[in-house]
Structure 1
Amino acid sequence: MLMHQGLGLETFNDLPRRKAVHALYECCCSVAWASRVADGRRFSSRTDLFAAADSQLAELSDSVVDSVAATLPEPSKVCAAMDRDTRGALGTAARAYEGRFGYAYVSSRLFDPEGFEPRDILVDLGHRLDNDDRTERTVMRAELAKINHGRLDRLLGPEGGWPPY
């Protein structure tokens, strides 16, 4: 859960660097990424912030991105309402994925506010296990960017941010 939510773009732009880095770290769990995005402020729009976030994510080494992926929950641990068999199947598939590629499975679907269907995650995992290493690395980074966008969107909140209490 994000501590910084609904700041609005102007407030985010005006944060001291230390606080901006902290708020961004909550979105991506990479000090390098958060620092670089914070240093790119003043953003004139959300689109500019998202573009900077994507650009800085693309600049991170695979090992840093793998560390970020490792902070995300395994699919079998996202929804407590799953039955034991489904939880087991998702756990097995996620471990197979990590064994195949050497890093954790990343899917923006797991963070959909409307929830997700475990079967859809299993199908996605199955398809992605067929990818070559280079293709999967690209897919994984794109999924991580989508997760970042969702978190950045919550960080900013509605246009203008929420009123201060």
Structure 2
Amino acid sequence: MLLHQGIGLDRFNALPDHSAVHALFECCCSVTWAGHVAAGRPYSSRSDLFTAADSGLFELSDADVDAALQCHPGVARRAQTTASALEQCAVWSPDEALMLAVVAACARYEQQFGYRYLWCAAGRDAAELLRDVTTRLGHSAEAERKTMLGELAKINRIRIERMLGPADGYRD
């Protein structure tokens, strides 16, 4: 859960540096990224903020990206192999066989690439998840790193949107 929700772009721009870094850290779990994006303030539009967020993400070192990934539970970590846990997990299907296939594919992914499978789940279901992870297992290490960063950028944008809220933010 974000502590900074619905603050609006103007209030975000006006935050003290340490508060802006904290608010952004909640979106990506990278102090380096948050510092880079916060240093670009003031942003004249959400679009400018998103551009800076994407740019900052793609400039991170592999070590910084790997550290940020540790804050994401990973799809396979959400799913357990018991039926009751599968019914309660945050992945989108009660079908136990499908979820077990997802867990297995995500484990192969992590073994193959050395980091967690990351996927922006907005509006997608478990069958799409399985297709995606299966496809991505065929990527080269370099291609997959770029794909994973693209997914992380999508997640960051969703979290930044939540941080900003409506155009003027919520009233105090």
TM-score (norm 1): 0.91
CA displacement at 1:80 relative to structure 2: 8.0
CA distance in 2, matches of 1:117, 1:106: 14
CA offsets 1:58-113 (integer angstroms, 9 cap, x no match): 1101121122122212224133863443332222111100111111111112xx1x
5+ residue gaps, structure 1, are none
Other-structure match for 1:2:
2
With 139-148 and 76-85 compared, the bigger mean Cα shift is at: 76-85
5+ residue gaps, structure 2, are 79-89
Other-structure match for 1:43:
43
Other-structure match for 2:169:
161
Q: State the AA in 2 paired with 1:39.
A: A
CA offsets 1:24-60 (integer angstroms, 9 cap, x no match): 0000000111111111110000011001111110110
Other-structure match for 1:94:
106
* Partner-residue secondary structure (3-state), 1:108: coil
Q: State the AA in 2 paired with 1:68.
A: A
Q: Does 1:12 align with 2:24?
A: no
Other-structure match for 1:118:
126
Contact 1:17 1:38 in 2 (8 A): yes
CA distance in 2, matches of 1:90, 1:70: 19
Counterparts of 1:50-61 in structure 2, within 5 Å, are 50-61=50-61
With 71-80 and 6-15 compared, the bigger mean Cα shift is at: 71-80
Kindly, what percent of the aligned residue pairs are identical? 46
Q: State the AA in 2 paired with 1:61.
A: S
- C-alpha RMSD of the superposition: 1.4
With 72-81 and 87-96 compared, the bigger mean Cα shift is at: 72-81
